[in-house]
């Protein structure tokens, strides 16, 4: 058995059509509340894989309602070593066309009101997030898109908006001026929490539209996004299968595995035992 255990956050149909051995669906609870749903776990060859539908069965949870803390905590409890997010995104750049994929490497966070840390009063921690994506894992994911005969852009800045509405034209133009390349509603605080949980994180965004910055065209609509996603579902599944097949036989340590080594600030005698208990999976390596 490989020592890789890949966690996947995406649509509920991602693992359909993949030869998942020893498949089982299990409920995993989290002290941070209810996750989006159960996980589906199994093996592809010697690689263990755990899937979760970010928006729940039937896409019932809106972006602002996703319990990102619980989802990441559950992945950590399942023993995941690396976390792959697959998401629909809008493009803010002409060259990033619908049907193509982007291996995101930076974020601009415009979300609000979403709990963005596992830590807080009674256990303060400051995670480094200058490079929020694991370069090694993102490169492997991008390689997999190409192996699946897709077009991938290596690197791009993802603007995370609160939603659920899409951007106005003025906002879309502003995000382009800021240096944004793509736009979506789910990568934050997901990427922040993955770093706090010491999970190497990569995000493959599937471009579904050009947002609203192209004035000569109609703005983005949900039915257009769903049509593009449906047309490219096979590429997403083929990419995932290619990634799992191409992983090195042995997983070497990633710098993210110990990213929180010096991030905990609160003195041991001042730490809140209740919060400490909730952090047993996320920070157990540091608190145990």
Catalytic site positions = 209, 211
Computed on alpha carbons and rounded to an integer, the radius of gyration of the chain in Å comes to: 18
Q: For residues 209-219, b (16+ Cβ closer than 10 Å) or e, as one string?
A: bbbbbbeeeeb
Can you state the percent helix, strand and coil of the chain, rounding each to 5? 30, 25, 45
> Using CA of residue 3, residue 147, residue 131, residue 220, what is the dihedral sign?
negative
Q: Could you tell me if 188 and 203 are in contact, meaning their C-beta atoms sit under 8 angstroms apart?
A: no
Q: Could you tell me if 154 and 103 are in contact, meaning their C-beta atoms sit under 8 angstroms apart?
A: yes
Q: Which two tokens stand for residue 129?
A: 């997030």
């Amino acid at each position: 058995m490989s020592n890789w255990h890949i966690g996947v956050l995406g649509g509920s149909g991602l693992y359909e059509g993949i030869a998942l051995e020893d498949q089982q669906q299990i409920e995993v609870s989290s002290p941070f509340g209810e996750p989006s749903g159960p996980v589906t776990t199994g093996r592809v060859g010697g690689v263990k894989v755990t899937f979760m539908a970010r928006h729940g069965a039937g896409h019932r949870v809106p972006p602002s309602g996703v319990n990102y803390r619980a989802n990441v905590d559950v992945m950590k409890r399942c023993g995941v070593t690396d976390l792959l997010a697959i998401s629909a995104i809008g493009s803010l750049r002409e060259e990033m066309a619908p049907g193509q994929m982007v291996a995101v490497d930076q974020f601009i966070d415009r979300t609000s009101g979403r709990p963005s840390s596992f830590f807080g009063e009674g256990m303060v921690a400051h995670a480094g997030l200058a490079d929020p994506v694991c370069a090694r894992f993102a490169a492997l994911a991008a390689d997999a898109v190409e192996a699946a005969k897709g077009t991938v852009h290596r690197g791009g800045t993802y603007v995370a908006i609160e939603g659920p509405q899409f951007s106005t034209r003025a906002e879309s133009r502003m995000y382009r001026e800021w240096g944004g390349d793509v736009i979506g509603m789910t990568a934050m605080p997901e990427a922040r929490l993955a770093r706090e949980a010491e999970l190497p994180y990569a995000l493959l965004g599937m471009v579904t539209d050009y947002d609203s910055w192209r004035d000569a065209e109609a703005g983005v609509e949900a039915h257009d996004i769903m049509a593009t996603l449906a047309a490219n579902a096979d590429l997403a599944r083929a990419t995932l299968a290619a990634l799992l097949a191409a992983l090195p036989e042995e997983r070497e340590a990633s710098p993210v595995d110990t990213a929180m080594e010096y991030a905990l600030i609160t003195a041991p005698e001042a730490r809140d035992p209740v919060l400490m208990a909730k952090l047993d999976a996320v920070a157990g390596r540091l608190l145990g």
